[in-house]
Structure 1
């Protein structure tokens, strides 16, 4: 059986990454970023690589013509290589958003945001996979995007990911909860980093800072994202199901009541998660502003397993009906 375009491209990423990993004695993910850069430039950029291996790499790169692949094929192949690298070096906060969830958020952004030109931000961009998935779903729209990420290996992967797919993304290697200098955006998408934020001095600048002890980073990310969104703009967050049940939840509810309208909460299928404690939902917010009205009622739905095609189609048509009623 002939390998699919994604498999062909993954094989090239994987084989060339392994060569570079051995030559540079670095991690698989660092080597993947290097090989992606090479593939984009069509040459071997690392001086430390032996002549023999440089020839092998060049031959692999020349066998691939990137413009013969769709953006989604490139994204998926690169994502498979990233997942392989993450298995070798697992860090709990580097979990990748499941593809089906990324596609669903891409679909929701397309349906909710009627503008022909859209500026999108992911304040916890990681390897850029969620942001790229969302961009790839915005057919016939002019997209500008920005991403913030504190981890230098992940942001290098996001940069290579954007180049290979020819996306126009501004990337900032920084702590997203420190001061951010970017133009306000129409849309925020983010798989919120859940946990405690260690910098209590900086956290004190936020309304959602905890009254004592460390603040929840996911609460601060919501507040920071709200600041960076234009009035009337939309925010799509992947949140833990217990977001509104924590001791700090009343403060968060109050903040949202003052600054936004909850458009909907879509509970993701439990089958996507290792345990019910780890289960998540998609929270859809619209920032308050002049002439921005709350929906008649929020869109609340429990999504079926995303492999259940009939169930998924039914829920998507319900979502479309709800959007038509509330626009």
Structure 2
């Protein structure tokens, strides 16, 4: 991907979003969702614009030829614009999974999920960046997906993201821990929202509810995801490193022992995080069922700093060897 392609696309998203932001008197992220939809529909959908704005937008949109770009190019440019908008927005839940992590999860999904036609769920889909990164890294596979998020702006951005990249994603704007009316999926990916779940009444329906006070949202997300995965299906979670060290950890251990095999834990490099407390890992589970056997040994990896190319290649080779030996 040439830097100029990315720059041109970002400029198009950014400039047209800024025009709409001013004209519609809305936030940059809202305007970005609007301009993304205009680009997908190849027309200006907002009716309340001045003649001059209409002309400016049409002139900018004329240069956009979706077939000129790959899905990854569109995702990256749109992601850059979203990141710009998130810097201006004060909402703490607007956080995006770093690209390098998304690509690594995409690589792992491609290696573990052998089927050439499968369904994928992201129960904390946000802007759709992690989900579409993973879909873009599936080699010669047909993937359809489901995304759930409680934030209506993030779901709107996710919808535009999916359309621009021409991905088949069904999106639900709801609390992901309320009942999900979906068929079981083959795989789950999620950057788990870490913190407390405020709805104590709903939490009562979960095995991993806390004995007192609010329950951990990230524990409930794991349980909800396992529930909606087919037997033998894989789950890939981005987790806080201290997941198995909290006072609720014994309950989580017991739940996982009953429901899934831990296939692997890959610790992300410390250089990616501001401090030790913020550090994360990728947890890989396989749901029990039928004749599913545990791996001979769990895949444990300390991921090297991603700028060290040779170390990263060596790590990927070791993962490949592990998969061949344990499949």
Give the TM-score band, short-chain normalised. Answer: over 0.9
Q: Deviations over 1:172-198 (max 9, x none)?
A: 000000010011100000000000000
Aligned residues: CA RMSD: 0.8
Q: What is the aligned partner in structure 1 of residue 241 from structure 2?
A: 241
Q: What is the aligned partner in structure 2 of residue 120 from structure 1?
A: 120
Question: How far did 1:307 drift?
Answer: 1.5
Secondary structure of the residue that 2:166 maps to in structure 1? coil
Give 1:163-182 correspondences, 5 Å limit.
Answer: 163-182=163-182
Which of 2-11 and 162-171 deviates more?
2-11
In 2, distance between residues paired with 1:50 and 1:160?
24
Q: Deviations over 1:293-327 (max 9, x none)?
A: 00011000100011111010010001000000000
Question: How far did 1:93 drift?
Answer: 2.1
In 2, distance between residues paired with 1:306 and 1:294?
30
In 2, distance between residues paired with 1:256 and 1:54?
55
Secondary structure of the residue that 1:232 maps to in structure 2? strand
Question: How far did 1:20 drift?
Answer: 0.1
Q: Deviations over 1:62-105 (max 9, x none)?
A: 11111100100000000000000000013222210000000000
Stretches (4+) displaced over 6 A: none
Question: How far did 1:3 drift?
Answer: 5.4
TM-score, normalization by structure 2 = 0.99
In 1, distance between residues paired with 2:60 and 2:109?
37
Secondary structure of the residue that 1:17 maps to in structure 2? helix
Q: What is the aligned partner in structure 1 of residue 33 from structure 2?
A: 33
In 2, distance between residues paired with 1:40 and 1:54?
17
Secondary structure of the residue that 2:159 maps to in structure 1? helix
Query: Does 1:218 find its partner at 2:222?
Result: no
Give 1:1-327 correspondences, 5 Å limit.
Answer: 4-327=4-327
In 2, distance between residues paired with 1:107 and 1:3?
23
In 1, distance between residues paired with 2:92 and 2:247?
24
